[in-house]
Amino acid sequence: MFKKDLGLFLLILVVGAAVAIINPRFLSPINLSNTANLVGLFGLFSLAQAFVIITGGIELSVGSIIALLGVIFIDLIANVGLPWTLGLAIVIALGLLMGAVHGFLITRMRLQPFVVTLCGLLIYRGVARYYTEDATAGFAFGQSFPTLEWLTTGRTEGIPHSMIAFVIAALILAVVLHRSIFGRYLFAVGKNEEAARYSGIRTRRIIVSAYVLCCGLTALAAVFIAMYTRSISPASHGNFYELYAIAAAVLGGCSLRGGEGSILGVVLGTILLQVLQNLVNLLGIPSSLNFAVMGGVILIGVLADQQLVRYRQWRRSAKPAPGQATSAIERAAE
């Protein structure tokens, strides 16, 4: 896994250098700061997606969750008049509840993660549009929440707070995934759920916990994104965000078969995707090609993962068994 992360880091440096040569504006403080802000915003729910993918599942409703919880959060603090702290608590609680429902349907009702989360994608998007009567949700003219705005969209020493939140979340999740029993159980379930169950691991609880963590962190990302955009069109807000999260996770070394992945890889995958999208913008390429970039990244990541698996299988089959002759000369001598 370290070799994957190192290779991805070197690729980021190469692409970044190429972009800087093509367009020096890439290294301007404003552009770097804006790119860091987007890395933080998109990185939060990309980290969340990684936990589900490691268990062998997938979460396709990320974008719709961001749209629904975003409009609910804005309505609670801008129209209902609740304190933003209470609105934030309600939104995160709703995210955790969504994750629990997804986990229940997958583990208890034995539904496929793809089906459950695809239905969630459609249901949450429809509810968001119904909630606002298909109108754009936003803040009234002159309406301001200084503390909330500083926490979500402010900057310290030029570093966006969204990036700081992303780094903090990545550090915490890295400890959870790579230095805790829960993290080892996640990898075990992703590798072989049946074997993990026979080993005494409560696989259902682990899977449900992964979806709860994913949707809870996505809810937090929904608040950051809502404060960044200041207005939400429920029909389009968050569209294809789930593909971005999957692309970042896969590019970062998470196998869609489960059982593999690292937080550092997801961080680097998120950075690389934003650098590529920044390249598209700086070169004046139509923004619609952003989707083509994400699709290409997912395809390359899956192909690379398959080739790595085949290489490992070839290595195992080529490795001689104990006591077996390892060369033609040895076989002739025997």
Beta bridge mates, 156: 159
Band of residue 149 on the pLDDT scale cut at 50, 70, 90: very high
Residues 6+ apart with CB under 8 A from 179: none
User: Using CA atoms, how far apart are residues 334 and 324, in angstroms rounded to an integer?
Assistant: 10
The pTM of the full predicted model, rounded to 2 decimals, is 0.88
3-state secondary structure of 235: coil
Over residues 42-72, the pLDDT tens digits come to 999 999 999 999 999 999 999 999 999 999 9
CA pair distance 137, 226, nearest whole angstrom: 10
Query: For residue range 267-323, what is the model confidence (pLDDT) as tens digits?
Result: 999 998 898 888 878 777 776 777 777 677 767 766 776 777 677 778 777 765 555
Beta strands of the chain (E only): which ranges?
A: 137-138, 155-156, 159-160, 231-232
